[in-house]
Amino acid sequence: MKKLFFLLLISSSVFSQVKPPVDITYQVVNKESQIIWEGSTMVGGGHDGTIQLTSGTLVTAANGKVKGGNFVMNMKSISSLGPKSGKPNKGLEEHLNDDDFFSTMRFPIATFNITKVTPGAKPNEYTITGNMTIKGISNVVTFPAVINADKDTAKAQATFTINRTLWGITYKSYNFLAQMKDDLISNDIKLSLNLVFKRSN
C-alpha cells in the first residue's frame, strides 16, 4: 500500500511539472514589410503608393496556428510612389496628409487589432477579423489572408478593400456631393499587406 501511494505521489508530481504548450509571438520587421494602397477616380485612372509600419505582432499557438496580433501604421509615411506607376507625386502626398484625407498631424498612426481568426480550407489560409482605427474612428474589417509561420519567422499576405467614408474621409465622395462631377474619387481604397515577422520568444 505504501509503495502504491509512493508511486501515485511521484506520478502526480511528474504530471504537475508538465507545462502546457506556450504561444509563439513574432515581431514585425518594419524594413521588410509594406502596405500598398490603391485609389481610383470614378471615371478611370487613380493613384497608388505605400504606407510603412511602426510596429506589429503576430501570435500563433505552438502548432503554428494563428491566434491573434496587431499592427501599427505610420500614416505620416504615406507615399504616392507606387509599385505600378513608379512616379512620385509630392503634391498628392501633401494632400493625403492634410484634413481632406488622413489628418496625420492629429492622427499620426492607424492601427489594426485582430479580434477573431477563422481557419480556412487550406492549412495556411485564414479569415481575419479585427478593428481598424483610422483618424480615431474604429470599424470592423474582415479579410482573407495567407499566413506561413515556422519556428523563426512568419509571413502574412492579404488584399482587401475598405470604404474610406466609414472613417470620415469624404473628400470628393459621390455620397456627399449633390451633383456628379468628373473628378469624383471612389470610396474604395484597396490595401495589400506584405508583412514579415521574426520570432521574439
pLDDT tens string 8-45:
444 454 445 556 678 999 999 999 999 999 998 867 67
Q: In terms of pLDDT, which residue wins out, 46 or 15?
A: 46
Question: What's the CA gap between 117 and 114, in Å, rounded?
Answer: 7
Largest CA distance in the chain: 92
Domain containing residue 132: 21-199
The pLDDT score that the predictor gives to residue 4 is: 44
**Grid coordinates given for 153:** 519567422
The pLDDT score that the predictor gives to residue 41 is: 81
Q: How many domains, in total, are found in the chain?
A: 1
The pLDDT score that the predictor gives to residue 87 is: 72
Give domain status of residue 133, yes or no. yes
* Residue given cell 505552438 in the structure block: 62
Give domain status of residue 9, yes or no. no
**Average of pLDDT values for 145-154?**
95
pLDDT above 80 for 7: no
pTM of structure: 0.84
Give domain status of residue 10, yes or no. no
pLDDT above 60 for 55: yes
Give domain status of residue 8, yes or no. no
Alpha helix ranges (H) inside 25-157: 90-97
For residue 44, the domain's CATH number is: 2.40.128.110
Beta-strand runs (E) in the chain: 24-28, 34-40, 46-60, 66-79, 109-119, 125-134, 137-149, 153-163, 188-199
